[in-house]
């Protein structure tokens, strides 16, 4: 199997609006589209996420939580390492991107 090298930074995250995974070149993105952003604000999920991220036990950017949620879905083995503190999110970004794009590619081929 050939390795795919991504020439851009890719942040995979779970959208707060639709609960699906998406990717962005920006690290602070929380929703996949304008419609999801509006939905997340209206249904309170954006506020709940921001409150969770601001808790003293976390104090992280809300996007970090959504990126960790994507890690849990794509690579539970790496999520365990994140929780144990043996790896950092930045250290596994390429592996998560690869897992995400492999999944996307698999579905593209199935539906084609």
The answer to whether 83 and 54 are in contact (CB under 8 A) is no
Q: Which of 53, 65, 63 is nearest to 28 (CA)?
A: 63
Binding segment toward Zn ion, per CB under 5 A, in 12-20, 42-50, 64-72, 103-111: 12-20
Taking CB under 5 A as the rule, does residue 17 contact Zn ion?
yes
- What does the block give as tokens for 7? 């020439």
Taking CB under 5 A as the rule, does residue 10 contact Zn ion?
no
**Cα 5 from Cα 17, distance rounded (Å):** 29
Cβ-Cβ contacts under 8 Å for 71 (sequence gap 6 or more): 12, 78, 79, 82, 89, 92, 96
Residue from 32, 74, 79, 82 in contact with Zn ion (CB under 5 A)? 32
Nearest distance, CB of residue 20 and Zn ion, angstroms: 6
Residue from 12, 14, 36, 74 in contact with Zn ion (CB under 5 A)? 36
Taking CB under 5 A as the rule, does residue 62 contact Zn ion?
no
Interaction site with Zn ion (CB under 5 A): 15, 17-18, 32, 36
């Amino acid at each position: 199997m050939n390795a795919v090298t991504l020439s851009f930074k890719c942040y995979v995250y779970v959208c707060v609006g639709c609960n699906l995974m998406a990717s962005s070149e920006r690290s602070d993105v929380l929703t996949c589209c304008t419609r999801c952003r509006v939905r997340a604000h209206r249904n309170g999920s954006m506020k709940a996420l921001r409150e969770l991220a601001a808790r003293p036990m976390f104090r992280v950017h809300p996007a970090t939580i959504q990126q960790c949620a994507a890690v849990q879905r794509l690579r539970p083995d790496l999520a365990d390492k994140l929780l144990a503190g043996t790896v950092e999110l930045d250290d596994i970004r390429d592996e998560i991107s690869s897992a995400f794009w492999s999944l996307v590619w698999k579905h593209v081929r199935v539906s084609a």
